[in-house]
Amino acid sequence: MRSILLYLGWGWLFIVLQVSLFAFLPLGEARPDLLFFLVLYLGIEFGTLGGAILVFFLGYVLDLVSSSFFGLNSLLALLLFFGVSWVSRRVDPRHPPFWAVAIAVFSVGEILFFWFWPWLLNPGAKLPAGLFSALVLRTVGNLVVGLPVLKLLYLADNRRGRESAPQL
């Protein structure tokens, strides 16, 4: 119960920062998605039904405060959670290169999902220009911010009595 409240607190903090502070920073497409990192971490560390419910709830809250397509962040959070959980069961997620590759791959997947979802709903619509630059900028922004955030989450999680966090 304590760990759920801890991650719920992290999620609320990340959502508030993302919606209030990051919305006004002049970063353009390089603006990182903080909830993305928490979902990534929960998928690596937990991969259980409780983690999926928490991730869905946090995505739902983000939808309530910021989304133009209601339910899109909830769906994306669940897809990311189960994708990372599936990959982390097959590859050792304790090594820092895994974290960097996971951030890059799932960041590209997130952008493609957000860009192609409206097009799938309305096939006659044109895709926005600048897809490649948005992919590169968002992925670089997520890598720059994501590795320290994941290390912070790892250090804050004393639930399993870990000796030390991976060197990032």
pLDDT computed for residue 56 by the predictor: 92
pLDDT computed for residue 30 by the predictor: 65
Give Cβ neighbours of residue 70 (< 8 Å, ≥ 6 apart): 63
pLDDT computed for residue 107 by the predictor: 82
Q: What is the mean pLDDT of each run of 10 residues along the chain (168 residues)?
A: 78 87 71 84 83 90 80 86 88 78 83 73 70 77 82 71 44
Assess contact for 23 and 46: CB atoms under 8 A: no
pLDDT computed for residue 82 by the predictor: 92
Hey, what domains does the chain have and what are their CATH numbers? Answer: 2-156 (1.10.1760)
Would you state the structure tokens that stand for residue 97, as one six-digit string?
Answer: 């290169």
**Cα–Cα separations (whole angstroms), residue 154 to 75, 145, 163:** 25, 14, 11
Which SS3 state, helix, strand or coil, does residue 48 take? Answer: coil
Cα(53)–Cα(147) distance, integer angstroms: 24
Alpha carbon dihedral 84, 62, 22, 138, in 10-degree steps, equals 40
Which SS3 state, helix, strand or coil, does residue 91 take? Answer: coil
- Which of 24, 92, 14, 95 lies closest to 54, judged by CA? 14
Assess contact for 77 and 39: CB atoms under 8 A: yes
Prediction pTM value? 0.79
